[in-house]
Each structure stands twice: as C-alpha cells, then as structure tokens.
Chain A
Amino acid sequence: MALPFFSKSEIVAPADISAASLRSDRFRLEREVDWQRLEAIVTALEKNRPRSISDDDLLELPVLYRKTASSLAVARETSLDAATLAYLEALVRRAWFQIYGPRIGLFGWLRRFLGGGWSAAVRSIWLDICITFVVMVAGGVVGWLLVEQDESWFYSLLPGDSAGGRVPGADPAVLRETISTADGSSGLGVFAASLFSHNTAVTVMYFALGFAFGIPTLLLELWFMATIGAMLWVFFDAGMGWDFVAWLSIHGTTELGAALLGSAAGLHIGRTMAFPGDRTVMGAMRTAGVRAAQVMAGCTIMLIIAGMLEGFARQLVGDTLARFTIGGIMLAFWVLYFVAMPRPREHLA
C-alpha cells in the first residue's frame, strides 16, 4: 500500500553487541531496538497518524515507555555517553507528552461539555452564583430606590445620553418608541452577530476582575444592575413597566444569566485566592481556574444565543406577551439545563 518513500525504515538490531568494549555501550546496544520502536510509535502519534502503528506496537507502548524510562534511569548512573543520555531524555520526554497528553480533541471536548460538563461546572460554583445573584438583585433595588427618591440620581448612574432618551419624565411616546420593533428585518443578523462580541468582552472583563478577590466584579455588577433598576423605575413611572420588562426579558434572561455566570466564575477564582483552605494557593487556583473556565466557555455560548435573540427576536416580536413567553422559555430552559443535566460519564478507556 504505502509508497516506498513513505515506508518506515526497518529497525535493525545492532550487529555485534559483544564487539563493544565498554559495558555501558553494551547496555545501550542491548536495548536500543526497544528505544527505536518507542521512537517510531511516538513519531507516528505526534504526526497524528495512530493508524500507522501496528496493533502489537500499540499494545506494547506502555511497556516500551517504562522500559525506556528505566533505561534512562540506569544510564544516568552508569553511562557517560552524552549523546545517548540526550537521546533518551528527549525520547522519554516525547513519550511522556504523548502518554500524558490531552486524550480528546476540540470536538470531543465540546460534545462532553454540552452533554453535562458545563452544567456540572455551573453547579459546582453554586455558592458564588448565589452571592452574585444576591448582589445583582440588591443592585437593581438600590437603583430603583435611588431614582425614586431623587431623579437626579438617574443622571449619575447613566451619565450623558447613554440612556438613549429613556430618562425620567420623558414623553411616553418617546419611551414607547425605544422599545418597539424595528421597521424592517434587514441587517438584523449582522447586528445580532456583532452585539455578542461586545457582550462577550464585557462578561470576560467581569471574569478578569474576579482575580482581584472578586470585589471589583461585584461592584461592577452592582452598578450595572443599579442602572437597570433606575431604568425600570423610569418605565414603571411612565406606566409601561411590564412592556419594558418584556422587552428586556427576551434576550435579558439569557444575557443576564451569562453575566451572572461570568461574574460568579470570576468571584470563584477570587474567593479561592483569598480562602484557599488547606491547599496551597497555586493548587487551589488550579482547580478553581479549570472549573471557572468551563463556566466561562459556556457564557460565550449563552452570549451568542443572547445576541441572536437581541438582534432578531427583540426587533421582530412586538407583543408584550409573546416577548415574555420567549424570555420565560429561555429562562426555564437554562435553569432546567443547569439543574438537571447530569454530569457526563467518564470515558472508559
């Protein structure tokens, strides 16, 4: 089958082992066939061509690895042949990389991730999610109360024209306009797709700030939710509160969910740094980091979905009830998925 110039060069046993005058060279000549066999297997694995390895070789891989590793250990104590030692070290290292390398690729990981790895990671940081959730709710309440007490607070929370005309005492018609559907549907997809990249950056920032023991993350969330609370007050004051909530919920249940998870992931790392328990800080951070990263990877997926909902559904669906239905279904879906999706079974070798 194989073309001649691709065929493997045969490993030949050294001609005459006893011809070597040095004991350490005889040691090496007796074993070098095994080493070269291991090298051929490792090379094939590195080139991502495991099929070109014969069954016998594959079955013997662990044995060859251990043999070579023990050869290295012996050679270090008995041989002064620098080239052979360098070869053995490089070979054992390469074999170690292969044997202890990642067992699944990107797509394998994605399958396991969606099939339960994500929800398991989310469940494992439940405490951080609860803390962040409480802070977010508190932020909303604070924003509402502040503006209710003194309308000028609104302009401190949302300076300039970042509110886009949605200010206290605005004409209800203007307010209505800002939450109505867009005229046409063209260009929405592109709008939606570019929205999530912005949202992703914001959520990643929340996560990044978690490294400062989680405090800036919580402060940012508090401020962010206060603006939403203030906005809610403006709309309820104008008598169209539920319409606004519906408008927000369509993508908000997903997007705020992602913000919640992203902040909680950041907080998880920050909290672990501050309170590593009986592990070392580095060790604790490693476990926390891997867990938090899984949650963050999921946030990106949620933000893509949120971007699509924001771009398409929010602009196309104008009815308050229909908006609530979509937002509610998304919320129910996420909660159910995170609570009920079982952890994936560990892949049996």
Chain B
Amino acid sequence: MSISSVQQAQDARLSKRARMLVTPEGLALPLTVGSRGARFGALALDMMILTVGIVVVQVLFSVLILSITGVNIDNPEANDAGPLVELISVAGIVLLFLIRYGYFIYFELGPRGATPGKRMVGLRVAARDGGQLTAEMVIARNLVRDIEIYLPLTFLVLKLVEAMSGEDLAGVSGTVAFVWLALFMLFPLFNKDSLRAGDLVAGTWVVESRQAKLQHAMSLAPDRSTDYRFGDAELSVYGEHELQVLEGVLRQSRPEALREVAEAITAKIGWQLGQGDEREFLEAFYAALRGHLEGRMRFGQRKKDKYS
C-alpha cells in the first residue's frame, strides 16, 4: 500500500486524467478524475447491491403477505384479502421507489461522498469549482441518472421484447426517444473529464480518493557524510526523478534491488563498493543527493531528471 501509493501518486500526476483544483484558500490541489472503467465498475457494483436489496425487500414483503393470507395455490383470486395486505403491498412499492432514488443520494450526501460501489473502487463526488459540495448538487446529479440509466434500460428491454415477439411496442416515437436517451448514456465518453450529463448539470465530478500513510523520515538514519564524501561532480549526475526512484528502493528495502541500484550508481560515479555496504552507501548517497538538489531548489534551480 505505502510504496505503491507513492508510485500511484506520481503516476497520477503524469496521467491524462490529472487535474489541478484550486481550493477557496488558493491552494492548488492535484486531483485525478475517475477513469471511465472505474466509474462503470462502481455503477455495476451499485446496481448489484441495489438489485440484491430490491429482491430482499420483495421477498420479505411476499413472505409477510403470504404469512397473513396463507397460501392458496388452487385459487389465486382468493389470495386477494383485506386492507392490511393491500397496505403492506403499497408500503412495499413505495419502499422500492425510495430505495431506487434514495440509495445514491443518501450515500453521496454522507461524509465519504460516495456510494458503496464508488468507495470500493476508490472514487468520490466533488464540486468541480473546488467549492462546497451542496446537497442540491448531489440531488441534481442523481435525478438525471434516471434519464441516463433507468429510462434507456427500460427502452432497451422493450426493444428486446419487441425483437423477440416481432411486435411493434414502442413505435417510431419510442425509437426516437431511445436514440435521444442513448446520447445521455454515452455522454461520458465524449468529454475529457468523463462527466455524466448529471455531473454537467450539477457542477460536480467524480475523482479518485486516495489515502496515503506518513512514512518515516529518510535522513534520520545515522549520518555517514564523514564516511562517504560525495563531490559536486558525483552529485550532479542525477536529478529529482532518480532521487525519488532511489527513495522508493530504500523504503522498500529489498536486498537484490539495493545491490543492483548500488552497483549502477557506483559504476556511474566510478566508485568501488565492498560487499554488504549497499544500504549504508545508498543511504549516504541519498542524503547527499537530496541535500544537493534541495539546496539548488531553494535558489530556484530544479533538475527534473538526469537528462536535464
């Protein structure tokens, strides 16, 4: 988790989905827009959870109704009994309605700003302008979901039934409506922030929400600057990128990798290294190189990598 999250953060900055958001404090905060694949996955997960929830509710209510009326298979008409059963059915239908609409809104208004599906794939909703994410925005983006997902799916099912039965159920207007709705459905494919129509209307977007642990400080290792002395020529071989690769290697601390990197560096700067000294050498070199690069950085001279 820890090292890979650093790696991820670096990759994220380079990726096409990287955005800079300016918070109301004026701080530029890097964000990564959620990939279309992740968002589709989150949606699929949420739909699965919803479907399971709906089936459970339906089964529960059916069992409840059957336990009141008693099963009468021979004469289903006779099952129609009493206002209590009717009340339960109405409550069931309204509950299903509330689940369908409430699920997304409830979770996205929570502190994580994400439905369980989004949370699982590491996404959350945020305001596009860096300001407050309001309840109204969340409501707006989820009401449009109806047009983008539920309605086209309904039409799609209708079309399938049509194709199988050979009957024209939806008619021409139905087909036109489906094409129009398909535009909404495919909307995220045609803009770089992969915004849904709901996001566009509400002023939101879906971004990655990553966590990172605080790693130990690197220069707390015993100071070996007296044992290993590096000159300017040796330190100006590398840049920031190499430094951060070295940091990753040191934090991961795999013996083979340490050996390999130490050999590469000594070959480059023309040193000889004794067996078993890799870690010490690398720590010293890291501290020296970072001190060197950070020193130059304070004067506004940055060196991106060894080529610059």
Contact = CB atoms under 8 A, between A and B. Distances in A.
Given A14-B217, A289-B200, 13 more contacts: A21-B225, A23-B291, A47-B111, A83-B6, A86-B5, A100-B24, A100-B127, A100-B131, A112-B135, A204-B146, A289-B202, A293-B201, A304-B97
B51 interface: no
A102 B138 contact: yes
Interface string A177-196: 00000000011111011100
Contact of B27 (A24, A35, A73, A194): A73
A265 to B, nearest CB: 10
Interface string B229-243: 000000000001001
B126 interface: yes
B297 A93 contact: no
B10 interface: yes
Contact of A190 (B90, B147, B210): B90
A87 B215 contact: yes
A102 B131 CA distance: 11
B42 interface: no
Given A87-B215, A293-B140, A93 B294 contact: no
A336 to B, nearest CB: 24
Contact of B93 (A47, A190, A290): A190
B219 interface: yes
Interface of B: 2-3, 5-6, 9-10, 23-25, 27, 29-31, 80, 86-87, 89-90, 93-94, 97, 101-102, 105-106, 108-113, 124, 126-127, 130-140, 143-144, 146-147, 151, 154, 177, 180-181, 184, 197, 200-203, 209-215, 217-220, 223, 225, 240, 243-244, 247-248, 251, 287, 290-291, 293-294, 297-298
Contacts of A315: none
A104 interface: yes
B111 A189 contact: no
A219 to B, nearest CB: 11
A285 interface: yes
Given A32-B214, A285-B201, A101 B29 contact: no
A84 interface: yes
A86 B27 contact: no
Contact of A106 (B102, B290, B298): B102
A129 B143 CA distance: 20
14 contacts: A23-B294, A35-B214, A48-B110, A87-B212, A105-B135, A193-B93, A205-B151, A205-B177, A207-B147, A208-B184, A211-B197, A285-B200, A293-B144, A304-B97
A296 interface: yes
Contacts of A96: 23, 29
Interface centre among B111, B133, B218, B251 (most CB of A within 10 A): B111
Contacts of A84: 214-215, 217
Nearest to B30: A89
Interface-centre pick from A14, A22, A82 (highest chain B CB count, 10 A): A82
Contacts of B94: 193, 304
Interface of A: 14, 19-25, 28-29, 32, 35-36, 39, 45-48, 66, 69, 72-73, 77-87, 89-94, 96-98, 100-106, 108-109, 112, 186-190, 192-194, 197, 201, 204-205, 207-209, 211-212, 216, 269, 282, 285-286, 288-290, 292-294, 296-297, 300, 304
Nearest to A89: B30
* 10 closest cross-chain pairs (CB), A and B: A289-B201, A293-B140, A286-B203, A193-B93, A86-B9, A90-B212, A208-B147, A83-B215, A22-B219, A109-B135
A329 B72 CA distance: 43
Given A201-B154, A290-B140, A22 B203 contact: no
Given A21-B219, A86-B9, A91 B212 contact: yes
B6 A86 contact: yes
Contacts of B97: 197, 304
Nearest to A22: B219
Nearest to A211: B197
Contacts of A97: 113, 124, 126, 209
Given A86-B5, A193-B90, A101 B133 contact: yes
A194 B93 contact: yes
Nearest to B217: A25
A48 B111 contact: yes
Nearest to A207: B147
A83 B151 CA distance: 46
Nearest to A186: B80
A278 B197 CA distance: 22
Contacts of A73: 27
A31 to B, nearest CB: 11
Contacts of A197: 93, 97
Given A77-B297, A186-B80, A293-B140, A109 B9 contact: no
A20 B181 CA distance: 61
Contact of A66 (B25, B138, B213): B25
Contact of B86 (A14, A81, A186, A205): A186
A77 B219 CA distance: 18
A336 B294 CA distance: 69
User: Which of A46, A87, A292 neighbours the largest number of chain B CB atoms within 10 Å of its CB?
Assistant: A87
